[in-house]
Homo-oligomer: A and B are copies of this chain.
Amino acid sequence: MKDKATSFDIAHMAGVSQSTVSRALSNSPLVNKETRERVQRIAREMNYKVDKNASNLRKQRSSTIALLLFEDPSPDDSLINPFFMSMLGSITRACATFNYDLLVSFQNMNGDWHAEYEDSHKSDGLILLGYGDYLDYRDKLTQLQDQGTHFVRWGAHDTEYPGISIGCDNYQGGQIITEHLIQQGAKSFAFIGTAGQRAPEFMARFQGHIDMLATHNLLPQEAIQYNAVSTEEAGFDATQKLLASGARPNALVCASDLIAVGAIKCLKTHGIGVPRDMLVSGYDNIPISGFTTPTLSTVQQNTKKAGELLVSNLLKLIKGESVADYLMPAELVIRESTQRAD
């Protein structure tokens, strides 16, 4: 392995100063066109690449973004939330568009990630992806803010949280899926998914759900709702409890596709057919939802656009431009699980 060439080597070969090499390679208009092209050609021939560490140190920025994914590490990596994976794909591509590198890291919500990346100049800013359902999330965000770290958060605008957020309208998503179910003739409903302070996404979906019910005068005295985190097992268990209570709603509104998958599985064990006896909806449009029996009606978040917005807004923030929160509309995906085969 031969030593890497430096800009001095290139300067020597091109018969110019090292400063000129640096300028030529950054396409500075200050340098004569012919000189610039000659230097660039020699650099290419020599396989010379600017040393990023030196360049970053001098420029005091890294042209790198860090993506922090918060997720309980599952024993089986294949179970990584498909929605996040989809976001990762789109964020990666968006970064490439802007000539930024992307550092990816899985984090525990309770780690000390809030200080790590930008302070050490590894990255110019952070994208935070993961459900903000822990109590100290706000403190960490405040600390980031105080340190002057550039960051954007995936999620809905929340006055509790400092900083910029890009999200998908969970409230509206809860509304449209509920409206769809009402159109399909459902009169009584249950919502499966933890609706509480610590699960703002699910909470907003639930809120949209009950508000739409109220609009149609279908909201009972007490909305039926059972807690469940976003897993198949939790969906199964919550549905089990619902059925044990004797309730037999026309429609089950699940806060995520995984919950819906578990719910359908549970209904099957009780001989309750979907959509024949009960309609079931999910949320997220994960790949699996197109393959379940029945296929799952769900709500889609536009991950491609989300990734692009997260990256472009973070870059604006880094450049010192002002940025506003953004809430994307949710889209309905209608499949078999909510349509009675009349």
Contacts and interface: CB of A to CB of B under 8 A. Distances in A.
Contact of A77 (B54, B78, B86, B96): B86
B106 A103 contact: no
This protein's copies in its complex: 2
B73 A62 contact: no
Contact of A103 (B53, B101, B292): B101
A243 interface: no
Contact of A1 (B73, B90, B148): B148
Given A49-B116, A119-B49, A78 B303 contact: yes
A104 B77 contact: no
B102 A104 contact: yes
B116 A105 contact: no
Smallest CB-CB A-B distances: 10 pairs: A1-B148, A49-B119, A77-B89, A53-B57, A49-B120, A53-B56, A78-B86, A85-B85, A77-B90, A291-B291
Interface band, chain A: 35 or more
Contacts of A102: 103-105
Contact of A304 (B47, B54, B77, B92): B77
Interface of A: 1-2, 4, 47-54, 56-57, 62, 64, 73, 76-80, 82, 85-86, 88-90, 92-93, 96, 101-106, 115-116, 119-122, 147-148, 261, 285-288, 291-293, 303-304, 307
Given A4-B119, A78-B86, A82-B82, 8 more contacts: A49-B116, A50-B120, A53-B57, A53-B121, A77-B303, A92-B106, A101-B122, A293-B293
Contacts of A52: 53, 120-122
Question: Which one of A48, A54, A82, A89 has the greatest number of beta carbons of chain B within 10 Å?
Answer: A89
